[in-house]
Structure 1
Amino acid sequence: MKSAITSTTNAMTSPPVNAASLSLGEQLQSLYHLVRSLTDHIVEPLSVEDCGVQSMDDASPIRWHLAHTTWFFETFILRSQADYQEFNPHFGFLFNSYYHSIGKQYPRSRRGLISRPGLSQVREYRQHVDQEILTRLQREDFAIAAEPLLRVGIHHEQQHQELMLTDLKHMLSCNPMWPVYRDDPFDACNAPASTTPTSDEWIEIAEGVYPIGHDGNGFAFDNESPRHPTYLPNASLSSMLVTNGEYLEFMQAGGYERPEHWLSMGWATTQQQHWDSPLYWLRHNGEWHQFTLAGLVPVELAWPVTHLSYFEADAFARWKGRRLPTEFEWEAACDQVASTATTPLDQEPFADVLFEQDKCIHPTRSPDGLMGTVWQWTSSSYAGYPGYRPAAGAVGEYNGKFMCNQSVLRGGSVATSSTHIRSTYRNFFPPEARWQFSGIRLAK
């Protein structure tokens, strides 16, 4: 997941009950520890060998994610401290990602070739930086100065937690033994197993001008701003995500064989890649199965379909006689239903919630509102809002330069933390990307 970086001083999560009695440094210590601990929890079931594999150019080894998120805190916060001693001068080259103004980077496609530093040394690196950050936060002057960038680093790590889950899933899927990441039960579905829920309920958007973008209250990345008025004609968004059963109907109707449903680039891509089903689907004993983080399981028709490219989502919508929503329609509809949703975000199937409940990281139901379960492709190309300016400095380098040949996704997924998502959040990937938990919400 890639997004611009900026920050505000509001809390990332709901404050503790006694937040008023905590100093700023104590609040930041708690947030920092919470997020870094979830990263450790994600890695806990993995072997040393698991953490060093890079299964494709778009993915990174788990060990690299652990080091890179640590490098962020060291580079942007600790290195400015006169009394800080850098852990290893070579790590700046190895674990820099796209920050060209900071220095050169080791090629992304070759990260899996780096066997040293090993996992144990990367963990020592994390412990070193954690101790430095937590100790210095005991000083209120440091906490005040570091707060903006520390909150950026916390949200940056949450982005990489999601990438760790999707990257390790892709890595494990390359093993013909179909290994299990965690043998957790699946979340309860809203419909009986092996049935296809149908819903004619639509969220109506009345013609009018809607405020789009972040309002400045709380944390946001700079690609969510500036807030601006946007005219929308009458439109409707489905209250339900497209399911495996519905997508299977598309497949059985020859959807992957009929070019009239596909954009030109999409048809060329599906032919070159020999796609005939969502990523991680395969025929096993004559039946469709899908690989999950709990291993290989039969395709449940009622579960939301996931691991689709933009091209596949768009082709399905055309076949269905519908379309994908624009990101502006999606945001307006999300804000409209938020007041009536009965399930708070911290109870929807987001990654932190599923880990807390020991449930499998896999989408099994539509969310109560529009946020959660799978990232939802929109028809919008990723571009800056009117008046957009990248954030100043190196931390703002990670967004505006990607505003080309990318499509916007909204809503978060089962790999996203509940404290990381909001209605204005703009995710973006190339239209052929499939390894994220990406699915479909139709519009008309």
Structure 2
Amino acid sequence: MSRVIEPAADSTAALAGRFARVRARTLELAAPLSAEDAMLQSMPEASPAKWHLAHTTWFFEQFVLARAPGHRPYRDGWAVLFNSYYRGAGAAHPRAQRGLLSRPTLDEVKAYRAEVDARLLEALTRDALDGEARRILLLGLHHEQQHQELLLTDVLHGLACHPGRPAYRDDLPAPASGDAVCAACAWIAFDEAVVEIGASPWPAHRGFAFDNESPRHRVLTAAFQLAARPVSNAEFRAFVEDGGYRTPSLWLSDGWETVEREGWDRPLYWQEDLESAFTLGGVRALDPHAPVCHLSYYEADAFARWAGARLPTEAEWERAATALPVQGRFAEDGVLQPQSASGSGLRQMFGDVWEWTASAYAPYPGYRPWRGTLGEYNGKFMCGQYVLRGGSCATPGDHVRASYRNFFYPRDRWQFAGLRLARGA
């Protein structure tokens, strides 16, 4: 039997405040976009910004407001347009055709957001939401924060397809740490140990966690070493210049087939000069010391093999990260681009770039999805994908924790994904 979501500890005031902040932040991220920009869908895996604005609103209407007896949909037919993959909630418009949804207009979607926000806050403040509805409301806020990052990465991919390379925002600040020099990679050693990873089923522990992070369980990690920092642009450029994209022996079979089929010869958004890259602020010089990003799992794995190392497992990564505070460069910093950093010991475990791990996205021992349609959120995607850890420069900072498991297909590289090396002791 699937687990029932347990009571949330958030007070009404705290939950209402978080709801208002998260919803306002999504509109803030979409504000630089024209109605035409908000329609861009550059590939089936990406979604238009307008769809993100509507889908996150549909989530609250479908799973919170619709629990009330006599609920009437905001607009007939919109549930089909803005459902994603929740088959238990009914039919969904094809994912690859979201960019064809010129109606409703962007203004109508914003009006939808405003109406659902007003209804939810009114119900919350008059204590009309039961414990389960409040818990789903909090889940919906973390769901929306995931879509905030997707909105940025999808917009970046769409604008990169324009021959003029227009910036999402011309006023984005340049990274402040461009003068920080990455020293030769240092290694941090960890002894063999049995460690606990994961989270207790939410919210039996303090703080939020998705169902795929539980249950907490013990894992044996053999002695290993972890690089003190992520791989830099300069280091990855050396891989490119050494013929890394022309050497089949460095690649997994599926990876090499992808390189040949797609014509990859450098990371996504890098320009031909290998000195600049397209960013949300337009084409900018590559900081050689900043973490490399927009890599697929295949590219990360090939680089690790070229470097005589490997990718860490997610158990190794979490063991190292658990001892650290969740601090880093996140979306709130406003740079929206990975930055270099100096210092000693493990650094940049959180923020800047998601880090690919060698672990396939699979259920933990004893995993149970959430009850009902919300059980489709994570569990049914546990096939053919790999786990990333740590968050990025486009991730909301209060959305990240050491146990957080992000996941993408090994070919995907439009996310802010990089890598950190590992090796045996």
What TM-score do the two structures reach when normalised by structure 2? 0.93
In the comparison of the two structures, how many residue pairs are matched? 412
Q: For residue 398 of structure 2, what is the aligned residue in structure 1?
A: 419
Q: For residue 172 of structure 2, what is the aligned residue in structure 1?
A: 184
Q: Among residues 227, 230, 238, which one is paired with 1:238 in the alignment?
A: 227
1:78–1:133 contact (8 Å) kept in structure 2: yes
1:74-85 aligned at under 5 Å gives the runs 74-85=61-72
Q: Which residue identity is paired with 1:38? A: R
User: Which stretch shifts more, 165-174 or 76-85?
Assistant: 76-85
Distance 1:96 1:57 in 2: 15
Q: CA 1:128 to 1:372, structure 2 compared with 1: closer, same or farther past 3 Å?
A: same
Q: Among residues 54, 67, 89, which one is paired with 1:67 in the alignment?
A: 54
Q: For residue 337 of structure 2, what is the aligned residue in structure 1?
A: 362
Distance 1:205 1:10 in 2: 36
Q: Which residue identity is paired with 1:298? A: A
Q: For residue 29 of structure 1, what is the aligned residue in structure 2?
A: 16
1:5–1:222 contact (8 Å) kept in structure 2: no
Q: Among residues 242, 254, 273, which one is paired with 2:262 in the alignment?
A: 273
Is 1:197 the counterpart of 2:182? The answer is yes
Q: Offset of 1:365 from its aligned partner?
A: 2.2
1:210–1:232 contact (8 Å) kept in structure 2: yes
Deviations 1:311-370 (A, max 9, x none): 00000000000100000000001113x1xx5xx63xx2101x223xxxx21001258451
1:311-330 aligned at under 5 Å gives the runs 311-330=298-317
Q: Offset of 1:432 from its aligned partner?
A: 0.4
Is 1:136 the counterpart of 2:123? The answer is yes
Deviations 1:178-237 (A, max 9, x none): 111112112322x627xx612342222210100011133321101001111000110011
Q: For residue 259 of structure 1, what is the aligned residue in structure 2?
A: 248
1:13-412 aligned at under 5 Å gives the runs 24-142=11-129, 144-182=131-169, 183-189=171-177, 192=179, 197-215=182-200, 216-283=205-272, 286=273, 288-336=275-323, 338=324, 345=327, 348-351=328-331, 353-355=332-334, 360-366=335-341, 368-412=347-391
Distance 1:59 1:111 in 2: 9
Q: Which runs of 5+ in 2 are unaligned?
A: none
What RMSD, in angstroms, separates the aligned Cα atoms of the two structures?
A: 1.8
Q: CA 1:275 to 1:71, structure 2 compared with 1: closer, same or farther past 3 Å?
A: same
2:5–2:132 contact (8 Å) kept in structure 1: no
2:392–2:416 contact (8 Å) kept in structure 1: yes
Distance 2:34 2:7 in 1: 37
Q: Which runs of 5+ in 1 are unaligned?
A: 12-23
Q: Offset of 1:114 from its aligned partner?
A: 1.1
What TM-score do the two structures reach when normalised by structure 1? 0.89
Q: Which residue identity is paired with 1:297? A: R
User: Which stretch shifts more, 142-151 or 405-414?
Assistant: 142-151
Which structure carries more relative contact order (alpha carbon 8 Å, separation 6+)? 1
3-state SS in 1 of match to 2:398: coil
Q: CA 1:8 to 1:421, structure 2 compared with 1: closer, same or farther past 3 Å?
A: farther
Q: Offset of 1:83 from its aligned partner?
A: 4.9
Identity %: 48
Deviations 1:66-122 (A, max 9, x none): 000000000001112125432102111100001001101110001101100010110
Q: Which residue identity is paired with 2:337? A: H
1:228–1:386 contact (8 Å) kept in structure 2: yes
Distance 2:368 2:322 in 1: 25
1:289–1:299 contact (8 Å) kept in structure 2: yes
1:6–1:395 contact (8 Å) kept in structure 2: no
Is 1:430 the counterpart of 2:409? The answer is yes
Q: CA 1:53 to 1:225, structure 2 compared with 1: closer, same or farther past 3 Å?
A: same
